[in-house]
Amino acid sequence: MKDVASAAGVALKTVSRVVNGEPGVHPGTAERVREAIELLGYSRNESASVLRSGRTATVGLVIEDVADPFYAVLSRAVEDVTTGYGCMLLSGSSSEDPVRERELVGAFCARRVGGLIVVPAGADHSYLRPELEAGTPAVFVDRPPGPGLDVDTVLTDNAGGAGLAVRHLLGHGHTRIAFLGDEPSIFTAARRLHGFRAALGHLFDERLVAMRTPTPAGVRADVDRMLALDAPPTALFTGNGRLTVTALRALAGRLPALVGFDDFELADLLVPGVTVVAQDPAQMGRVAAELLFRRMHGDTGPSEHPLLPVRLIPRGSGELPA
């Protein structure tokens, strides 16, 4: 910048003004400065700018895994909103590891992000308190923070969605409905189990519930065990997209009625089409990002907790008779 200033024959500050589009610079001067910038291939040092001004125009996003289509779509939505506000997005995958989550948040804060969007992996987020008090807003997405932290959240109606699925299957005559879910320590899995149980009422049977990290072998074992019962299930409710796909492979043709939580590409092309309770990850990302930017722009109202609706999409597998 010093070089640009001397090349254009002006003071440092004038170059700074031009670079930042501040008013009060003679158009001719500005043009000369711009030429010098072009000529020298100058690019502003963001670090120095941040250091001096305290502003970063950066937002941090912690998700579970970018390679998971659900979070990939969510990321993209957040990125689009962020870009729309002239900000950059920093993101990282926690791999469901609380330690990694905390490292990522720490790295983002050290880079002085203006705000955080977090899909939490851990159960304790007291480490965030200093940042929140320092004025860095945070929005929790898909799962709430640990106890004692009053921040905005954007959650899906997990229990309601599970209820929707169960009632749909009940409506097609099923009374033996099984549930395959993720680890019960994961918030969404627990909420979906809750909704499942509540909608089934006295029809709930513990033997028809299996909750674990969805590995092919594990899911196959669960499916085999359930199908071998004296009174096997006639319908299956799978608790997330990965489980639905894993279960379809494990079933290998022995297809009971099936409704899955989460939509996925090609669900419509399978035979039969897979009926799902669909969330909208892009909407989730947009809502969270917009909320975050409102906070970053100074909205200090009480914390908000929008609950996003789900939608049942019948495609065939959920409409098979009992």
Partner DNA sequence: CGACCGCCGGACAACGTTGTCAAGGGCCTG
Partner DNA sequence: CAGGCCCTTGACAACGTTGTCCGGCGGTCG
Binding site for DNA (CB under 7 A): 1-2, 9-14, 16-17, 19-20, 23-26, 28-30, 42, 44-45, 48-49, 51-53
Gyration radius of the chain over CA positions: 25
For DNA, the closer CB: 19 or 227 = 19
For a copy of itself, the closer CB: 45 or 303 = 45
Residues 117, 100: Cα–Cα separation, whole Å: 15
Residues 95, 83: Cα–Cα separation, whole Å: 25
Q: Please enumerate, as own/partner, the contacts of 215-223 that have beta carbons within 8 Å and a separation of 24 or more.
A: 215/246, 216/246, 216/249, 216/250, 219/180, 219/243, 219/246, 219/247, 219/250, 220/250, 222/180, 222/250, 223/180, 223/247, 223/250, 223/251
Site mask, a copy of itself, residues 165-204, x = CB under 8 A?
----------------------------------------
The amino acid that residue 284 corresponds to is M
For a copy of itself, the closer CB: 194 or 220 = 220
Q: How far is CA 306 from CA 56, 139, 152, 186, in A?
A: 27, 11, 9, 20
Q: Which does 66 bind (CB under 5 to 8 A by kind): DNA, a copy of itself, none?
A: a copy of itself
Q: Which does 269 bind (CB under 5 to 8 A by kind): DNA, a copy of itself, none?
A: a copy of itself
Shortest separation between residue 107's beta carbon and DNA, angstroms: 14
For DNA, the closer CB: 29 or 175 = 29
Q: Which does 158 bind (CB under 5 to 8 A by kind): a copy of itself, DNA, none?
A: none
Shortest separation between residue 31's beta carbon and DNA, angstroms: 10
Among residues 22, 35, 99, 111, the one that binds a copy of itself under rule CB under 8 A: 111
In the window 38-57, what residues touch a copy of itself (CB under 8 A)?
A: 41, 43-48, 50-51, 56
For DNA, the closer CB: 134 or 271 = 134
Q: Which residue has the tokens 């002085």?
A: 112
Please report the beta strands in 182-318, taking only residues with DSSP state E, as ranges in sequence order: 209-211, 235-238, 257-261, 275-278, 307-308, 311-313
* Binding of a copy of itself by 217 (CB under 8 A): no
SS3 content of the chain, % helix, strand, coil (to 5): 45, 15, 40
Q: Is 25 within 8 Å of 17 (Cβ atoms)? A: yes
Among residues 9, 84, 106, 216, the one that binds a copy of itself under rule CB under 8 A: 106
Phi-psi region of 96 (alpha: psi -120 to 50; beta: other; left: phi over 0): left
Among residues 27, 110, 148, 300, the one that binds a copy of itself under rule CB under 8 A: 110
Backbone angles phi, psi at 174, to 5 degrees: -85, 140
Site mask, a copy of itself, residues 231-270, x = CB under 8 A?
--------------x--xx--------------xxx-xxx
The b/e string for 56-78 (b: 16+ C-beta within 10 A; e otherwise) is bbbbbbbbbeeebbbbebbbebb
Among residues 8, 18, 59, 93, the one that binds a copy of itself under rule CB under 8 A: 93
The two tokens of residue 120 are 């939490």
Q: How many residues bind a copy of itself (CB under 8 A)?
A: 44
Q: Which does 231 bind (CB under 5 to 8 A by kind): a copy of itself, DNA, none?
A: none
The residues binding a copy of itself (CB under 8 A) are 41, 43-48, 50-51, 56, 65-69, 72-73, 75-76, 79, 83, 88-93, 106-107, 109-112, 130, 245, 248-249, 264-266, 268-271
